[in-house]
Amino acid sequence: MSFRWVRTSASRLLTCSLSLLFVAIPSLYAEHPKVMAPHKPISPKVEKPRKWLTPMMLRTMVGGLWMIDANFKSSIYLRNVVETDPVKVTPVLYLSNGTKYFLPEVTVEPSGVAIVSINDALQKKGISPWSTLSGYVELQYTWPWDPFCATVRNIDTTHSLVFTFAFQPTLPLPLHLVHPAVKVSTFATEGMWWKQEPNVTGFVALANLSTRPTQASVLVTDEQGKGRAQGYPFSPWHEDGEPA
């Protein structure tokens, strides 16, 4: 009997303690009101500047490779990094034989994105959008700096192929274009190729951006630096489509 009495008293004591605890918790919250965490106010919208620090001038960016055929769909993606003003740009398509086509002017809104379909643009020029053609793109615009983040995307959904190439600004001009009399030394550009399966193929695209003839050769080497293939010299084409 005494054991049961002690156990019952302990249970009542525990119940009383828990009741006091639950009663004390609301009082603690009442003594300490909620305080909002410190934060910085949102900055106001950027106002359009009255005058740019650098003057407006004609600038260009080049990029590629673009490819179209019965399966490949090629598009130009333009991202305007200017938050206050729209920027107008004129895309120029260069074919592999040097022929160029000026596309309609595109206005890219502030912080906006514009997509130009190369297949549709060539179709409006009277060229079949499923023809097997390739080349590079030039973007022409008048702005104090290069305001675009631009890429060319070639997508072949039938064969699950996607090729993406970024644009690069052409200013400031290279030394051999500013001073043609200066002798330009031979230089090499290296890249990595990887072939895992026998039916995988690769390609190298070259484009001459200058107005003068030039030559380039392609050398393929393996992982030990041994030559595996030698490409034919590359000669540019004039803008009228005739070989140099």
Tell me if 3 is assigned to some domain: no
Instruction: Say how far apart CA 68 and CA 156 lie, in whole Å.
Output: 9
In the prediction, which pLDDT does 23 show?
47
Tell me if 78 is assigned to some domain: yes
Residues 71 and 141 in one domain: yes
In the prediction, which pLDDT does 211 show?
64
Which domain-ending residue is among 149, 171, 193? 171
Residues 137 and 158 in one domain: yes
Residues 240 and 149 in one domain: no
Tell me if 65 is assigned to some domain: yes
Residues 64 and 147 in one domain: yes
Element (H, E) at 25: helix 2-31
Residues 61 and 138 in one domain: yes
Tell me if 33 is assigned to some domain: no
What is the mean pLDDT, run by run of 10 residues, along the chain of 244 residues? 47 48 49 72 66 84 92 96 93 90 95 95 92 93 94 94 91 52 66 75 73 76 73 46 35
User: Across-strand partners of 136?
Assistant: 64, 94
Residues 90 and 140 in one domain: yes
Residues 139 and 98 in one domain: yes
Nearest CA among 61, 56, 99, 59 for reference residue 78: 61
Instruction: Say how far apart CA 79 and CA 76 lie, in whole Å.
Output: 10
In the prediction, which pLDDT does 32 show?
64
The domain total for the chain is 2
Tell me if 72 is assigned to some domain: yes
Instruction: Write out the two tokens for 30.
Output: 């009442």
Instruction: Write out the two tokens for 167.
Output: 């644009």
Domain containing 143 — which CATH number?
2.60.290.11
Q: Which domain holds residue 143?
A: 52-171
Residues 152 and 61 in one domain: yes
Tell me if 30 is assigned to some domain: no
Tell me if 143 is assigned to some domain: yes
Residues 105 and 142 in one domain: yes
In the prediction, which pLDDT does 49 show?
58
Residues 145 and 189 in one domain: no
Residues 93 and 133 in one domain: yes
In the prediction, which pLDDT does 35 show?
73
